[in-house]
Amino acid sequence: MEKTENIQPKYQNRTICIYFVMENYPTIIEDAFQFRLYIDEMIVKFPELFPSNISEGYRMKDSYTSKKLSVTVRRIDVSGVFYTIRPSFVMPYMTAMTEDVKLPLFYRKFDVPFWAITAGFGRDDMYWYRMVASLGRNSIVGTTVKHAENLPEHVIFDEKHSSIRGEKVYVPTTVANECILGVAIADSAGEEDLEEAYGKFKKEAQNIDPTYAPESGNTDGWKATQNALKSLFPKIRLILCFLHLYISIRDRTKMKFKDIFHEVASKLWDCYNAESKSSFSQRVRRFYEWGKKVSLPSVIFKKIEKLRNNVHAYSVAYDLPGCYRVSTMLDRLMRRMNRHLFNTQYFHGFTSSAELNIRGWALIMNFAPSNPITVKKYEGLQSPAERLNQFRYHDCWLQNLLISASMGGLRSPPQNPL
């Protein structure tokens, strides 16, 4: 299988996307003075949407009108690099007006197939496929997390098994604060491939904060995953997922040893609920001794023995307030990913295009509105990205995503091409 390509373009995205009131836009865009005043206001309010060196000043360059939508845009010059200012009511590459596609792209959150979207909204299947894939060109971390202080100290890592044209691949996924912050495709579950895949999360996060490294990471215990993460983040504290331990016991014993399973599960979660590291270790020892005394079936006892032998890898969580002891948050999102991949009959085409598509899906999951009951619970914050940042740029979820993805979600200014 082809090696996964770096999905980031050779040169950083040089399109700045900001909010304009559509009705006022023609007046502002035609008057260079009014346009500059508006841009200056946006720079003060939302500096993260602009290149980091715009504080050194900029000058007006030129304007042009899109033949597709008859929308005029202007360019500015920042230290010799030219940026296009695109209003958020227009999709990238002028493919559509945002208002016309926000509903069909929202339906992709629920895996409505492209042919059904075509039947309801016109165009053709590849038009909608390419629109989702184009979102995947943006930095997931930079688009979702708008300020360095919101980068997560504690994260969860795991790999989803999948296939491309029948060949097995893996989807290393990084999750924190209800958001998918990293997703890539790896050809194998080996250390080298996983390090490359998880390295994309590191690269995107360090574009926001060059010193960023998560304090802790929850994993299922796969050795290659742990080695890859330690290589990327040498100081990270790795925590074994307690839920995976429970699931491994449940799946092997619930049907065959019904009479003992519930008692084992009760004692296992009693260990989990210990209030301190010493109490946890003590309960694990007693759990092990009880299992040995009652002669538990080996398939159960070996798991308890493994818990005792790795007690430090579980109890380290007591030293890290706010860390993830279980991967429940990631599992919920991976169930959605599993349904998405099943409904699309897994990946097709090339690895690079498959990765763009799953990255685009991840950003839709981060920004598309949640159930109204959930939105009410969080006082009107309608998506995981809004709840992470505690604000939104625009009430329309898709415009909020596009503005968040200004300059591809990256911060550092690009170099001019040769």
Query: How many other CB atoms sit within 10 Å of the CB of residue 141?
Result: 26
β 216-219/154-164 pair status? parallel
Whether the full predicted model's pTM is greater than 0.85, yes or no, is yes
pLDDT in tens, 206-244: 999 999 999 999 999 999 999 999 999 999 999 999 999
Q: How many Å apart are CA 117 and CA 103, to the nearest integer?
A: 10
| pLDDT for the residue 416 | 38
pLDDT band of 8, cuts 50, 70, 90:
very low
Q: How many Å apart are CA 304 and CA 296, to the nearest integer?
A: 10
| pLDDT for the residue 412 | 61
Q: How many Å apart are CA 354 and CA 341, to the nearest integer?
A: 11
| pLDDT for the residue 13 | 83
What is the Cα Rg of the chain in Å?
A: 24
* Average confidence (pLDDT) over 126-148: 96
Write out the two tokens for 72: 């005029």
Q: Which residue has the higher pLDDT, 349 or 45?
A: 45
Is 50 exceeded by the pLDDT of residue 415? no
pLDDT in tens, 56-73: 999 999 999 998 899 999
Taking alpha carbons only, the member of 13, 24, 4 closest to residue 50 is 13
Is 90 exceeded by the pLDDT of residue 418? no
From 4-8, 30-34, 365-369, the region with the lowest mean pLDDT:
4-8
| pLDDT for the residue 7 | 46
pLDDT band of 411, cuts 50, 70, 90:
confident
Q: Which residue has the higher pLDDT, 9 or 408?
A: 408
* Average confidence (pLDDT) over 82-99: 96
| Sequence letter at residue 263 | E
Is 60 exceeded by the pLDDT of residue 406? yes
Q: How does the average pLDDT of the chain come out, rounded? A: 92
pLDDT band of 15, cuts 50, 70, 90:
very high
Over pLDDT 90: what percentage of the chain? 87
CB 118, CB 125: distance < 8 Å: yes
* Average confidence (pLDDT) over 353-375: 96
The three-point CA angle 258-264-270 to 5° equals 145
* Average confidence (pLDDT) over 365-370: 98
* Average confidence (pLDDT) over 377-381: 93
pLDDT in tens, 253-308: 767 777 888 899 999 999 999 999 999 999 999 999 999 999 888 889 999 999 99
